[in-house]
């Protein structure tokens, strides 16, 4: 059964939690994002930045449509990292955080020191 779902072994499933629904949503939203911006061509720098921003916005909206939102634990992790990067590269903390956010929003797994970016909404169903 384990080899069928993702090609991984039972040991891999036991070692790390693999969220296949999150992985599928990220893959699907990545495809949608690329198609949404495929017709745009950047001639000057600000247009390139606009395309990057549009892709990030489409990706985030798609993930929200799949029931995922930014993990608050990731934001707690990301803020000091962004502050350090901002100081080292002499950019604003907001820009550093946004760059980090765009890089991590396409990762389906967290690491020991980095929580996963997306968290599934847990909506309480009303009792019938």
Which residues lie below 8 Å from residue 113, measured CB to CB, with a gap of 6+?
A: 77
pLDDT in tens, 60-107: 999 999 999 999 999 999 999 999 999 999 999 999 999 999 999 999
pTM equals: 0.74
**Spacing of C-alpha 68 from chain mean position:** 10
Rounded Cα distance, 30 and 36, in Å: 10
CA distances, 55 to each of 67, 82, 106, 119 (Å): 18, 21, 12, 20
Rounded Cα distance, 69 and 120, in Å: 6
């Amino acid at each position: 059964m384990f080899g069928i779902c993702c090609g991984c072994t039972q040991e891999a499933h036991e070692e790390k939690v693999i969220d296949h629904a999150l992985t599928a949503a990220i893959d699907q939203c990545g495809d949608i994002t690329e198609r949404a911006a495929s017709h745009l061509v950047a001639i000057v720098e600000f247009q390139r930045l606009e395309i990057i921003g549009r892709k990030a916005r489409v990706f985030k909206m798609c993930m929200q449509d799949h029931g995922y939102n930014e993990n608050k634990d990731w934001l707690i992790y990301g803020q000091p990292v962004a502050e350090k990067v901002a100081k080292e590269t002499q950019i604003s903390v907001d820009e550093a955080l946004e760059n980090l956010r765009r890089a991590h929003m396409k990762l389906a797994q967290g690491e020991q020191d980095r929580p996963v970016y997306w968290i599934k909404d847990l909506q309480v169903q009303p009792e019938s």
